[in-house]
Amino acid sequence: MTTHGGFEPVFCTVVPPHVLDRLARNDNPALSGPARRTILRDSELRALRQVNTEYGLLAAPTAKAPSDQPLRTIYDAEHGTSLPGTKVRAEGQDPGRDATVNRAYSGLGATFDLYLKAYRRHSIDGDGLALDATVHYDEGYNNAFWNGEQMVFGDGDGEIFVDFTNSIDVIGHELTHGVTQYTANLTYNGQPGALNESMSDVFGSLIKQYSLGQTAAEADWLIGAGLLAPDVTGTALRSMKAPGTAYDDDVLGKDPQPATMDEYVRTGRDNGGVHINSGIPNHAFYLAATALGGYAWEKAGQIWYDVLTGGELSERAFFTDFAKLTVQAARERFGSGGEELQAVEKAWEQVGVRIL
């Protein structure tokens, strides 16, 4: 379905089919155009409904264009593990007393904002998907994750991690797993898994930069700043600017991320090191974005977004496949003679990813 900001006449469900048919044959394109689009959209929706009914997948979609407003719901697991938990804040409701709930709510809003305003994407699925998040999951839970349908945040144990809603880039990171699931659907293992993780770090960081109005030069390029408990020696969980330097602690160990292919880590753990080797594409993005300057979501972010959502990126893509598509996207969007193309090519070269 196309998005058109609600300005195009929508005949769905109101105009009888035979009238639509006559309008579609009209010589005046102002009349025939919208009617033809409506017929096309109706048939698409019918086919979709048929598929959904057959396979019992989803509720029938509504025929209207997705809204420019998010549809957020925050739930409280009350330290248990059943999802989604008790509903504590719906869209449009005023902030309550629980700062965690409020942070989750505004983080979801900031994520929705970047995708809509920078890339005209309506929510995670591009079609206005409701954004659900559960906070206070389990007791002292040191993690946050996307379960395929919603976000889940732990409070942290207070010794290593604090509340996972503290970092806006963590919220953006989790929701971007949803965007990836609905688009390139990169397999969560090995190099495609590291690319999946990197997409979440890239757009998680861009969501923070967008909400703070920071340029590439002003941004900290950290993931999870404000997440480490006071006694931990470190500034964040990952650094896109300098992978491998985010923490060095006697309990946590040292940040294991490589910045270049020379240091690529081969391991079976962590789904083949998805949180480790993501350092390489993360650093490539940082290099391209800082070389181009200005707001990172406008050029480098646009190129990365084009690749993630363009339909050519394979679920089993390796770094080199992704790199090749970013070069192609830079050329298509900004031209062959532009600084964008140069910056992207140079970034991959610097991290040792060869474009074949």
Q: Where on the chain is the footprint of other proteins (CB under 8 A)?
A: 81, 83, 139, 142-148, 152, 161, 164, 170, 173-174, 177, 180-181, 187-189, 193, 196-197, 200, 224, 237, 252-253, 256, 269-271, 274-276
CB of 145 to other proteins, least distance (A): 4
CB of 143 to other proteins, least distance (A): 5
| Structure tokens given for 3 | 């998005």
Q: Of 177, 275, 283, 340, which is the active-site residue?
A: 275
Closer to other proteins at the Cβ: 114 or 144?
Answer: 144
For strands 151-153 and 144-146, give the pairing.
antiparallel
CB of 278 to other proteins, least distance (A): 9
CB of 268 to other proteins, least distance (A): 8
CB of 144 to other proteins, least distance (A): 5
Gyration radius (Cα) of the chain, Å: 22
Q: What is the tally of helices (H) and strands (E) in the chain?
A: 10, 9
Residue in the block written with tokens 């991959």? 348
Question: DSSP secondary structure string, 184-208?
Answer: T---SSHHHHHHHHHHHHHHHHHHH
136 counts as catalytic: no
Closer to other proteins at the Cβ: 189 or 320?
Answer: 189
User: Cα dist. 163→109, 202, 253 in Å?
Assistant: 18, 21, 21
Closer to other proteins at the Cβ: 18 or 266?
Answer: 266
CB of 103 to other proteins, least distance (A): 16
**Sequence-ordered list of residues with C-beta below 8 angstroms from that of 135, at least 6 positions apart, any chain:** 74, 75, 76, 77, 98, 100, 101, 104, 153, 155, 165
Q: Assess whether the previous peptide bond of 16 is cis (omega < 30° from 0).
A: no
What is the helix (H) or strand (E) element at residue 347, kind and residue range? Answer: helix 339-350
Q: Own/partner pairs for 228-231, CB < 8 Å, 24+ apart?
A: 228/160, 228/161, 228/162, 229/156, 229/157, 229/158, 229/159, 229/160, 229/161, 229/162, 231/159
> Please, which residues bridge with residue 86 across strands?
76
* 205-206-208-212 Cα dihedral, nearest 10 degrees: 140
Closer to other proteins at the Cβ: 20 or 274?
Answer: 274
Closer to other proteins at the Cβ: 101 or 228?
Answer: 228
Closer to other proteins at the Cβ: 106 or 271?
Answer: 271
4 counts as catalytic: no
Q: Of 136, 174, 197, 283, which is the active-site residue?
A: 174
> Please, which residues bridge with residue 76 across strands?
86, 135
List, by residue number, the catalytic residues.
174, 275
